[in-house]
Amino acid sequence: MRQVMMVGAGAVGGYFGAHLAKGNPNVSFLLRPRTLQAVRDHGLTIRSADGSLTVHPPAASDPHDLPKPDLIILSVKAYDLTAVMNQIESVVDSRTVFLTLQNGVEAEDRLLERFTRDCVVGGVAFIYSKNVSPGVIEHYKRGALAVGELMGHESPRVRLIADLFKQAGLSCQIVGDIRRDKWEKMCWNCAFNPLTVIINDRVSKALDHPEMLNVIHDIVGEVAAVAAGLKVPLTEDIADKVVQWSQEIRDIHTSMYDDWKAGRPTEIDFMNGYIVRKGRDLGIPTPVNEALTAMIKVITEREKSGSGVLRIEGAVVQPITLDGAALARLPMEFQVPDVSVLMSGMRGRGIRVRGLLEVPALAIGADHATFHSHDGQFAASLTLKQAQEHGILIYQLDEGPLPEQEGGPFRLVTPGLGDLCANVKGLARIELTTGPGKDTRPSMKGSKGVEGKRSKVKGKK
């Protein structure tokens, strides 16, 4: 295994890869463009209490620009594995070996299914480190590996891999049942990764509450049941072991916590979400893991924005966003199944603005609602009374989203408002204000409001 390709240089791959590259010129890195530029400019740096290290390894974002690998070490997030397999497939031959250093328990099987041969050695990393910026890793605790053949035998190739790490000064143990080791780490990951996000704190916060210890036992119990269903039996005291293992790293945040705080996606679907899916396949109940999966997705989901999302903001206690599905779930009393009944020439399903404005808590004194188009060019400011009595937001046409050519995805119309009518296509924001807001209707420019003003330009933006 002369040529080694590290795929990724994050908290795990960056640490182990930098140590491998320190004394081995045959270690190269396949990196994303941003990280690649940083490594080319400044090298790959590990800051550690054990001593800092900077290396300048061969690196590229195209695998064909690197030496053909004998060993590929995968340290990317589990959700990136499919894309990575697509990227590297053309440089993989019948002798290429993969080592997985990823969270979860399915990466090995996904690789075997893709490359249809015995090409995978399993690995488990025990480390606490953070990727603080592209090409810069901060290492705090541990830094050891366990590797093993999926069938349990000690092969020449697994010994070569272990020696590779040992020669770099890293602790690497060959284990006889790497699948069990991965499932044991899965038990820890499924417990503490989501819990640290939910409690917004360190591992110790969860460990120090007796009630939470019961929850940890329930989480691990479900994971162990699924593992047994997949023919990977764990010890009966695995939950106690998970708690015990955590005592020496009680001060840490987890990778899921760090990803959440950095605005990155989490691996919840490959941890607790995987347990839920496999539990359903096996007929094993996993209610606690299902609840954790749902809560993490809600907590970590970025606020929706862009086309198809309406934001209500301004003089409200808390801004909110609504998409078409959310509008359709508002009470039937506010739904207008056929706008043409109220406004000839208009088509589609709508929701009365009165219903929309009942969702957010309005600030005391809010008395106007201003409707803004997504491009910011058009706006109509109505008194709350006008908006509530006459405003309708069209959001569907023929059971689908309102098309852009019809003024979608959201369009404000005001049947019954007479010459003060407002018609805003491509509506993106409703801004609540004290006093009138921006108004681009022709007779409203420069006015102090719309009361008493008249417009001959009906149906215009």
Over its length of 461 residues, how does the chain's per-residue pLDDT go in tens digits? 799 999 999 999 999 999 999 989 999 999 999 999 999 999 999 999 888 999 999 999 999 999 999 999 999 999 999 999 999 999 999 999 999 999 999 999 999 999 989 999 999 999 999 999 999 999 999 899 999 999 999 999 999 999 999 999 999 999 999 999 999 999 999 999 999 999 999 999 999 999 999 999 999 999 999 999 999 999 999 999 999 999 989 999 999 999 999 999 999 999 999 999 999 999 999 999 999 999 999 999 876 667 789 999 999 999 999 999 999 999 999 999 999 999 988 999 999 999 999 999 999 999 999 999 999 999 999 999 999 999 999 999 998 999 999 999 999 999 999 888 899 999 999 999 999 999 999 876 544 444 334 333 333 34
Biggest CA pair distance of the chain: 88
Q: Which residues of 434-446 are buried (b: 16+ CB within 10 A; e: fewer)?
A: eebbbbbbeebee
Which two structure tokens, joined as six digits, stand for 163? Answer: 């020696």
pLDDT of residue 270: 97
CA quadruple 258, 261, 267, 269: dihedral positive or negative? Answer: positive
pLDDT of residue 9: 95
Q: How far apart are CA 90 and CA 383, in angstroms?
A: 63
Look up residue 269 and give its DSSP letter.
G
Q: Which domains does the chain have, with CATH numbers?
A: 4-176 (3.40.50.720), 182-300 (1.10.1040.10), 309-444 (3.90.420.10)
Q: How many CB atoms lie within 10 A of CB 80?
A: 17
CA quadruple 280, 285, 287, 293: dihedral positive or negative? Answer: negative
The tokens 């605005």 sit on which residue? Answer: 263
352 residue type, one letter: R
Q: Is this model's pTM higher than 0.95 or not?
A: no
Q: How far apart are CA 256 and CA 271, in angstroms?
A: 10
313 residue type, one letter: E
- What are the φ and ψ backbone dihedral angles of 26, each rounded to 5 degrees? -95, 15
H/E stretch holding 190 reads helix 178-198
Q: Is 149 helix (H, G, I), strand (E, B) or coil?
A: strand
Mean pLDDT, rounded, of the chain: 93
